Amino acid sequence: MTTGQPHWQAVAAFTALRHRFAIISGGPGTGKTFTVLRLMVLLIRAAMEAGQRAPLIKIAAPTGKAAARMAESVITGVGKLNIPDDVRAHIPTEASTLHRLLGLGFGTTRPRYDAENTLPADIVIVDEASMVDLSLMAKLAEAVRESARLILLGDRYQLASVEAGSVLSELCQAAGVNAFSTAHIAAGGALLADVESGVPSLLGDHVVTLQTSHRFNAESGIGRLATAINDGDTERSIALLREGLPHVTWLDNPDASRTSLLDEYAAYRAARIDILDPAQALDVLQSRVILCAVREGPFGSNTINREITLRVARARGFDSTRIWYHGRPVIVLRNDYRVGLFNGDAGVCLRDRDGQFRVWFRTDEGLRALLPPNLPEHTTLYAMTIHKSQGSEFERVAMVLPTVQSEVLSRELLYTGITRARQSVELISYEEILRITVSRQIQRYSGLAARLQTEDGAR
């Protein structure tokens, strides 16, 4: 509970400096990357001033696309910092997938790095931590040596991993929202002078939730709607959509809007299908997307993908039954350690100068191409489920909800879909379905929260 508004980014950096384990949670644009950049600078400078070697820092994310985006953000952020070159040289400009960091796969189920052979790193930073399941998080925790720092970045309100365990959410739930102990507040001095102590908890002093979005300001339509959804405020969410928010459009008759949505999106993609440059083609992939709550049915990603494929084929004059064609977007559905592609990685098929089809991906090692037969399980990507969109950002998002109730609908799902957009969101849903979705919160029952509460009570 706060009586004022501290500089939450500074509080997060202080917390991560004070503890070897820290979680920095925040929605899009709240400054998680900027905060961790300043933290790296502080730690590097402190080591140098003490006459010690600079810390070895590793950055990772659950997927290749998330790792590539994190690396790009770090490079951009470092370029804006006024710091000495010797400090700059020790800030990593590359990020890897967690699987690659741990040495998972490649013909073995045992990671290269574990409790017996720990990671050669003094600081390990993991972005998009909400996507990390319990099994992978356990492997990471074992591999980080006791003297190292582990910093998790993520959004506590975003959907959890589809695999077992919602680790980040559970940890944040156990900690509360900026509920620090009196000892932590006292150590923070003026930085935490306006903060009242919360209910003591095992993790409270290790978790900071950033409060201010610099992407979605107070007047941002996306930001205002996301806040109302997070709060579970159905009436405010509907009222905001009715009044007409900037950069947010609500189409409340999906059956009437469906054909025009698919026609317009197919025309956009068909007009750009001839792009030859892999980077440009992948940029088109990130420019616009249709997000679906479900896979099947008239508003499911599988159905919409089939129908857009038919429209694109008709517009470009090729046989829609062809599996591979120049410009076909795809998304990987299963991890494949052999080829280094993971669930959620997006690519595009391009014909090279020799007439050979190759599928291009952005990975943690840069652009790479594979022959279609070498791809892991995949599907066409004009539309994707909101679950699959985690770790991605798009300029424009069209989000369609089913016309009947579904168990997958929740405020976390809606929040995640809306916040994938950088510029604008088009929400297609009947009001009744929207009300159900905002009012429904995912109930998380796992042993992790109970274990933390037990440990806390035993202290």
Question: What pLDDT is attached to residue 28?
Answer: 84
Tokens of 422: 């950088």
pLDDT tens digit sequence for 359-415: 999 876 789 999 999 999 999 999 999 999 987 889 999 999 999 999 999 999 999
Q: Which amino acid is at 83?
A: I
Question: What pLDDT is attached to residue 2?
Answer: 43
Tokens of 384: 């994707």
Tokens of 2: 């706060």
- The yes-or-no verdict on residue 448 having pLDDT over 90 is no
Question: What pLDDT is attached to residue 371?
Answer: 97
DSSP state string for 294-343? -SSSTTSHHHHHHHHHHHHHHHHT--TT-S--TT-EEEE-S-BTTTTB-T
pLDDT tens digit sequence for 216-269: 766 789 999 999 999 999 999 999 999 989 999 999 999 999 999 999 999 999
- Find the length of the chain: 459
Percent of the chain with pLDDT over 70: 92
Question: What pLDDT is attached to residue 64?
Answer: 78
Distance of alpha carbon 110 from its chain centroid, rounded? 26
Alpha-helical regions (H) of 52-119: 64-80, 85-88, 98-102
Tokens of 11: 């509080």
Residue range 316-327: mean pLDDT, rounded: 93
**60 Cβ neighbours under 8 A, 6+ residues apart:** 67, 95, 96, 97, 98, 100, 101, 124, 125, 126, 127
Question: What pLDDT is attached to residue 365?
Answer: 74
Residue range 317-323: mean pLDDT, rounded: 91
CA angle (278, 281, 283) in 5-degree steps: 110
Tokens of 162: 């589809």
Query: What pLDDT band is residue 445 in, cutting at 50, 70 and 90?
Result: low
pLDDT tens digit sequence for 96-146: 989 889 998 755 668 999 999 999 999 999 999 988 888 889 999 999 999
Give the up-direction half-sphere exposure of residue 92: CA atoms within 13 A in the CB hemisphere.
22
What is the average pLDDT score of the chain? 89
Q: Packing angle between helix 447-457 and helix 167-175, nearest 10 degrees? A: 30
Closest C-alpha among 174, 71, 75, 56 to residue 121:
56
Closest C-alpha among 304, 298, 291, 193 to residue 255:
298
Question: What pLDDT is attached to residue 162?
Answer: 60
Structure letter (DSSP) for residue 36: H
Q: 3-state DSSP: the chain helix, strand, coil percent, rounded to 5? A: 40, 20, 40
**Pairing state between β 57-61 and 96-97:** parallel
CB 181 within 8 A of CB 207: no
pLDDT tens digit sequence for 264-284: 999 999 999 999 999 999 999
Tell me how crowded residue 281 is: count the other CB atoms within 10 A of its CB: 21
Per the listing, tokens 């770090």 go with 74
CA distance 138 to 136: 5
- The yes-or-no verdict on residue 435 having pLDDT over 90 is yes
CB 38 within 8 A of CB 12: no
CB 190 within 8 A of CB 5: no
Phi-psi region for residue 230, left (φ > 0), alpha (ψ -120 to 50) or beta? alpha
Per the listing, tokens 């409790």 go with 115
CB 230 within 8 A of CB 415: yes
pLDDT tens digit sequence for 140-196: 999 999 999 999 999 988 887 666 567 888 888 888 888 888 888 888 888 888 887
Q: Which residue has the higher pLDDT, 265 or 446?
A: 265
Query: What pLDDT band is residue 3 in, cutting at 50, 70 and 90?
Result: very low
- Structural domains in the chain plus CATH codes: 8-215 (3.40.50.300), 221-439 (3.40.50.300)
Residue range 31-42: mean pLDDT, rounded: 93
- The yes-or-no verdict on residue 420 having pLDDT over 90 is yes
Question: What pLDDT is attached to residue 1?
Answer: 41
